Amino acid sequence: MSSKRGAEHYFAENKAVAGLGRASLHSGVIFIAARGVNIFVQLASTILLARLLSPHDFGLVAMVLALVGFAPMLIDLGTADASTQKTQITQAEISTMFWLNVAISLVLTLLLIGSSEAIARSFGEPSLTSIALALSITFVLTGMSTQHSALMRRAMQFQRIAMIDISANLVGSIVSVALALGGWGYWSLVAKPIVTTSWTTVAVWMSCRWVPGRPRLSPDSKELAGFGLGVTGFTMTDYLVRSADRIAIGYFQGAGPLGYFQNAFMIYGNVLSILTEPLHNIAVSSLSKLRNDVDGLKRAWETALSTLSFFSVPAFAILAVIGQDFVVLLLGQKWAAAGPLLCIFAVRGIPHSIERTLGWLHVAIGRADRWMRWGVYSAIVQLLALMIGLPFGVTGVAAAYAIAMFGLFVPALAYSGHPIGIRSRDVLQAVGPQTIAGLVAVGAGFLVQLQFLADVSQLMRIFASGTVCLVAYLAVAVGLFRVTAPLHLVFSVVRDLRSGRTPANFRS
C-alpha cells in the first residue's frame, strides 16, 4: 500500500462519531496511566542523578534550557493544534505545514549556534557554549516530527502516542544515568533531551506512515498558519513567564540556588504534566468535533473540567504537605533547601492544574486570537509577581507566583468560554468545591504534621500526613459538596477497560 493511501484515515472529516465521549474518557485514563509511568521513570532517574551530580550541574543545564526551551513551541508555530481542530484538511496543507516547521527549526538552529558564546559570556559560565551547541540538535528533530504527531492526535491514536512517550523517556533516562555513572557530569543531563527527541522522531515516523510532499501555498494553508500564530502567541508569552524566573535567578543568584529551584520545579512540573499536557491533546481532539453542537460542547467541557480538578487538586494538596520530606527522601539531604519550594509550588498547583485547561476551548472553538490576548495579560501579571518576589529570593518568587495563579485561574477559563456563553459562575460550579476542599486538606495536613508528627520518621510522616490530607479532601468534596460524578465516570471506564470494551477509534 502506498504512503498516500495508507495515510488516508488521517485526513478524514473531523466530526463527532458514536462513542466519542467514551473514547475520550478511555484515552484520558490510559494517557494519565502512561504519564504516571513517565513520572516514575523521571523521578527514578532524577534520584540517581541528584546523588551523582551537583546542584551546579543542574543549574548549568537549566540556564540553557530556560533560554532554548521555547524552540519546540516556535517550531510548531501552533500548527499542530491547527491541524487537529480543523474540520477538513488535505495532504497538501499538512505538507506545507511540515516544511514550515522544518524551515523554522533550521533557522533556530543557526541562531542558537551563532549566539552560544554570547550566552556563555552573559552568565559567566564558559561551558554553556558547548551545552547550547549540543542542544541545538533537538530543534531539527522536533521540526521533523511535529505534523506526524498532530496527525496521530487528529486520528485519536493516543495509545500509540503514550507508548512512544514512555519508551522515549525510558531510553533517554537510561542513557543519562549511564553517562553520569561514567563521570560525564552535566553532559549526562544534556544527553537526555537529545536522546528522547531522537527516539520520538523515529518512532512517530514509523507509526504514522505519511510522507510529506511538496509545499503548496494556498488559502487553506494560510488559514492553518494564521490559526497557528494565535496559538504560538499564547505559548510564547506563557513560556516567557515560565522561563523568566530561572533566567532571573540564574543571573542574580547563580547556578546553586537555581539548581534547588529547578529540581523542586521539576518534581512539581512532572506532576502537573501528568494531567494537563496529555489531556490538552485529547480535549482539543474531542471538543473540536462538537463545535457545531454548543450545548453538547459545554456539557462535555464541564464534565471534563470537573473530573480533572477532582483528581488533580488532592494530588497537589498532598504534595504540598509532604513536599519537604519528599525532596529529602528522594534526592538526599543536600537538596533539603528545595523542599519548601516544592511545598509552595504544590499549593500553586491547585489552581494551576485548572488554569492549564484554558486552551481546550480556545482551540476547539477556533479562537486562537483570544488565547493569544489572554497570554499577554497573564504574562504581565506573572512577570509583575516575579519582580515582587525576586528581592526575597527563590522562596519569594515561588510564593508570588502562587498568589498570582489563585487570582488568574477563574478569569482565564471564563474568558476562554465567553464566546459560547460560559461565565465565571460556570467555572466555579465545575471546580469551586474541589478547590475549597483542596485548601482545607492542605491546612488539615500541615496541622496534623506540626502537632503530632514532628518526631516520627520521614516515611511515617509522609504516609500519615498524606492520608489525613486525602481524607479531609474527600470529606469536604464528597461528603459536604456531594461531588461524586467524577468517581462514577472513572469507575465506569475502568470497568470497560477490564472487560475489554474499548471504542474502536481508541484501538486504532
At residue 337's C-alpha, the angle toward residues 66 and 260, to 5°, is 15
How far apart CA 456 and CA 445 sit, in angstroms, is 15
User: Given a cut of 60, is residue 507 above it in pLDDT?
Assistant: no
Task: Provide the percentage of residues in the chain whose pLDDT is more than 90.
Answer: 26
pLDDT at 32: 65
Which has more confidence, 230 or 135? 135
Which has more confidence, 316 or 53? 316
- Report the pLDDT averaged over residues 213-220: 76
pLDDT in tens, 366-418: 888 888 899 889 999 999 999 999 999 889 999 999 999 999 999 999 999 99
Task: Provide the percentage of residues in the chain whose pLDDT is more than 70.
Answer: 86
Query: How many structural domains is the chain composed of?
Result: 1
How far apart CA 287 and CA 81 sit, in angstroms, is 12
**pTM higher than 0.75, yes or no?**
no
Full residue range of the structural domain in which residue 55 is found: 3-507
- Report the pLDDT averaged over residues 98-111: 88
From the list 252, 248, 245, 251, the residue with the least C-alpha distance to 121 is: 251
pLDDT at 505: 47
- Report the pLDDT averaged over residues 493-507: 56
Sign of CA dihedral 245, 356, 135, 174: positive
pLDDT at 508: 45
pLDDT in tens, 430-449: 999 999 999 999 999 999 98
pLDDT at 349: 94
User: Given a cut of 80, is residue 256 above it in pLDDT?
Assistant: no
Query: Across all residues in the chain, what is the average pLDDT?
Result: 82
C-alpha cell at 113: 549556534
User: Given a cut of 50, is residue 3 above it in pLDDT?
Assistant: no
pLDDT in tens, 439-481: 999 999 999 988 888 888 888 999 999 999 999 999 999 999 9
Say which range, 20-34, 270-284, 414-428, has the weakest mean pLDDT.
20-34
C-alpha cell at 503: 471504542
pLDDT at 496: 63
User: Given a cut of 70, is residue 494 above it in pLDDT?
Assistant: no
C-alpha cell at 194: 537529545
* Confidence band, pLDDT 50/70/90 cuts, at residue 28: low
The full DSSP string for 67-100 is: HHTTHHHHHHTTHHHHHHH-S---HHHHHHHHHH
pLDDT at 281: 67
User: Given a cut of 50, is residue 94 above it in pLDDT?
Assistant: yes
